[in-house]
Chain A
Amino acid sequence: MFTETPFIRRKRRAERIAQCFFAGMAAAMVIPLFLIIGYIVIKGAPAISWEFLTENPRSGGAKGGIWAAIVGTFYIVFFSLAVSAPIGVLAAVYLSEYARENWFTRMVHLAVVNLAGVPSIVHGLFGVGAFVYFANFNDGKKSIIAAALTLAVMTLPVIITSTKEALAAVPRQFREACWNVGATRWQTIWRIVLPNSISGILTGVILQVSRTAGETAPVMLTGVATYKLLESTGLFLYHPIRDQCMALSMHLYYIATQANNVPAATPYAIATVLVGVVLVVNAAAIVFRIYLRSRKKW
C-alpha cells in the first residue's frame, strides 16, 4: 500500500538535496562572522587592559588608551538616538495608524525610502552644511551635537521603517474590534497597538545603536576630531556637547592608517572594543525582545 513509486523517490531525493543546499547557505552566513570576530579578538585581545580602556591616548594615539574615544562614541550614539528615536517612532505611528493615502503621505514615504538609500558620506556633507555651518553650534567648527544630528537624520528612515513593520505586525482585526466599540484611534493605539508592538519598535531602535556607533564618514566631517581629550575626566561623563570629541570608529581609522609608531595590536584592540560594544548592545536587545515576546498575548 505504501510502496514508493520511482516518482516519489525522485521527489524525496530532490527534497534532500534542496534542504542540504539551503542549510549550507545558511551555515555559510555564519562563517564570516566567526572569522572576522575571531581574527580581531585574537589579534587585539592581548593589547586590551584596564589601562587601555580607562586612559586617554598619548603620543598621537601611539600610547595610552582610548577612554576619550569610548566616551565620545557614547555621547554621539546617545544624543543621536535621543533625537531620532522619538521623531521616528511618532512619525511611524502617524504614517501607519492615522495617515490616509494622499500626496502628503506618498511624499513622506518617498522621502523615507530615498533618505535610507543615501550614502553615509553624503549625509556627512549634508551635516557639514546644515549643522556645522548653518546651525553653527560651535563657531563654524565641528561639534558633538552636529554629529549626533547628522546621524539622527541618517537613522531616522530606518527607525521609521522598522517601527512601521512592528506596528503592522499587530493584526488589523484588533484595531477594528476597538473601533467597533467606539474607541478613538488614540485609545486603540495606546491600549492595544503600542503595548503589543513595543518589543519590535525597541528592537529596531536598539539595532540603530550599532549602526550609529560604527559610522565613520559622517561623524568625521561633522563632530569627531582625531585627538580631543575630555574637558573633564573627573565627572564620569561630562563633556560639552557643543565641542568636538573623539570616537571609536574614527580613532580606529586614524590609528590604522595615519598615526606613526603604533603597536601592531592597537588597531585590533580598538576594533575589538567597538565590536564588543555593539555586540553587548545587540545582545541586550535580543534578551529584551525574548523577554517581551514571552509576554506575547496571542
Chain B
Amino acid sequence: MPVAQTMKIEVEDLRTFYGAKEVHHGISFHIEPNEIFAIIGPAQSGKTTLLRAINRTLEFTPGSRMTGTIRVDGEDVKKTRSVYELRRKIGMVAPLPVGLPLSIYDNVAFAPRAAGITDRRFLDGHVEKCLRQAALWDEVKDRLDSLGTKLSGGQQQRLTIARALSHQPEILCLDEFSIAIDPVTTMRIEDVLKELKREMTIILVTNLVQQARRLAARTMFLWNGEIIELDSNEVMFGDTPKDRRTYDYVNGIFG
C-alpha cells in the first residue's frame, strides 16, 4: 500500500522562516491516523509554528514562508484547492484561551455557521455535544447566552476546545491546552481525548512531559527547529532513548 494513503499527516523537509530567521531546519516525520502524537521541546523550538504551518495560518504572519511539503490525507497543503476546508479539517486550540466576543452558544456555533449550517435544531445539539466533550457543559448550560469573553481563563480555554471540535475536525491540534486549566479538569479533558482518538488524529503540543507520556503513543522531541528524537513512548520515556538529550529533557535534568 502506498505510504500516502495510510498517513494522516506527512511532513517532508519542512523549513519555515520568519523573515531571515529560520525556524525549522528541514524536518521530516509523519503522523498516523487516530494516534495521539505528542510534541515536546523547550520554548522557541518551533512547536507552535509547526502547527501553524500545517493548517496554513502561518501565512497570516507577515514575512513568514515555508519550503518543503506538508501533506494532509495525501494532499499538499500548499496546493490545496480550499484552504478553508483544510482548516475545517484541523481543529486548533491555541495556548492562550480566546473566547470570541460572542455568546457561549455563538462561540461554538460560529464555525458550523461559517460553513453554512443554519438548522437551529442541529446547532443546539451540536453545541451541547461539543461543550460536553470539552468538559464545560455542566458549568455553562444555564447561561449559554452570556458572553464567552466573560468566562474565567480555564473556562475560556475549554470553550476554545469546544470551538475547535465544533467543525468536526479529523485532526485536533492542542497547543499547550492545559496551562490555564486546573489538574482535575485537565484529567477530564485527557479522558475525553482518549475517547476522541477513535474519531480523530490528535497532535498534542505540551510542556508537561508527563502529559505526553500519559496520552501519546509516540512523542517527538523538537529542539531549535530540529527533531532530536521521535519514537514510541516506551523508547522516549524509557531508560535508553537514542539521544542523551531526550533522556535529560524528559527526566528534568537538562543542562
Residues of A within 8 A of B (CB): 100-101, 173-184, 187, 191-192, 195-196, 297-298
Closest 4 CB pairs of A and B: A297-B101, A182-B88, A181-B111, A298-B149
A100 touches B87 (CB 8 A): no
* B114 in complex: contacting residue of A173, A183, A195, A297, CB < 8 Å: A183
Cβ contacts A to B, 22 pairs, < 8 Å: A173-B98, A174-B98, A174-B100, A177-B98, A177-B100, A177-B160, A177-B163, A179-B57, A180-B57, A181-B87, A182-B88, A182-B114, A182-B115, A183-B110, A184-B114, A191-B102, A192-B100, A192-B101, A192-B102, A196-B101, A297-B101, A297-B147
For the complex, give the distance between the alpha carbons of A175 and B98 in Å: 10
Q: Is the CB of B55 within 8 A of A180?
A: yes
- Minimum CB–CB distance from A270 to chain B (whole Å) comes to 45
The residue on A at minimum CB distance from B56 is A179
B102:A100 contact, CB within 8 angstroms: no
Q: Which residue of B lies closest to A192 (CB)?
A: B100
Whether A173 touches B96, Cβ cut-off 8 Å, given contacts A181-B163, A297-B101, A298-B101, is yes
B94 contacts the other chain (Cβ, under 8 Å)? yes
Extra contacts, 18 of them, besides A182-B115, A184-B84 (Cβ < 8 A), are A173-B94, A173-B96, A176-B60, A176-B98, A179-B57, A179-B60, A180-B57, A180-B87, A180-B92, A181-B92, A182-B87, A182-B88, A183-B111, A183-B114, A191-B102, A192-B100, A298-B101, A298-B149
Chain B residues with a Cβ under 8 A of chain A: 55, 57, 60, 62, 84-88, 91-92, 94, 96, 98-102, 110-111, 114-115, 147, 149, 160, 163-164, 166-167
Q: Please, how many angstroms separate the alpha-carbon atoms of A171 and B167 in the complex? A: 23
Shortest B249–chain A CB gap in Å is 29
A262 to chain B, nearest CB (A): 55
Return chain B residues, CB-CB under 8 Å to A297.
Answer: 101-102, 147, 149
Looking across the interface, which residue of chain A has its beta carbon closest to that of B92?
A180
Are B88's CB and A191's CB within 8 A? no
> Which residues from A are CB-within-8-Å of B55?
180
Main secondary structure on chain A at its contact with chain B?
Answer: helix
Q: CA A178 – CA B160 in complex, angstroms? A: 11
When A176-B57, A177-B98 are in contact, do A182 and B167 touch as well, CB less than 8 Å? yes
**Which residue of B has the minimal Cβ distance to A184?**
B84
Known: A177-B163, A183-B114. A100 touches B100 (CB 8 A): no
Closest B residue to A196 using CB positions = B101
State in angstroms the CA–CA spacing of A178 and B115 once bound together. Answer: 12
* Bound CA–CA A173/B98 (angstroms): 7
A182-B84 contact, Cβ under 8 Å, with A100-B62, A192-B100: yes
CB distance from B165 to the nearest CB of A (A): 10
Cα–Cα, bound, A195→B163 (Å): 20
A residues within 8 A CB of B60?
Answer: 175-176, 179
Q: Which residues of B contact A178 (CB under 8 A)?
A: 100, 110, 114
Q: How far is the CB of A11 from chain B (nearest CB, A)?
A: 35
Q: Are B101 and A181 in contact (CB under 8 A)?
A: no
- Chain B residues with CB under 8 A of A179: 57, 60, 87
Bound-complex Cα distance A179 to B115 (A): 12
Report A198 CB to chain B, min CB distance, Å.
Answer: 12
Chain A residues near B110 (CB, 8 Å)?
A: 178, 181, 183, 191
**Is there an interface contact between A181 and B88, defined as CB atoms closer than 8 Å?**
yes
| Bound Cα distance A296, B163 (Å) | 21
Q: Which residues of A contact B98 (CB under 8 A)?
A: 173-174, 176-177
A192 CA to B113 CA in the complex, in Å?
A: 13
CA distance A191 to B92 in the complex (A): 20
Interface contact A182-B57, CB-CB below 8 Å: no
* Chain B residue, CB-CB nearest to A188: B114
CB neighbours of B149 from chain A (8 A): 297-298
CA distance A195 to B60 in the complex (A): 22
Bound CA span A179–B57, Å: 7
Name the contact of A180 in the complex, choosing from B96, B115, B147, B164 (C-beta under 8 A): B164
Q: Given the complex, which residues of A lie within 8 Å of B115, measured CB to CB?
A: 182
**Is the pair B164, A181 in contact by a Cβ cutoff of 8 Å?**
yes
What is the minimal beta-carbon distance from B180 to any residue of chain A, in angstroms? 14
**In the complex, are the beta carbons of B160 and A181 less than 8 A apart?**
no
C-alpha spacing A192/B149, complex, angstroms: 13
Q: Which residue of A lies closest to B63 (CB)?
A: A101
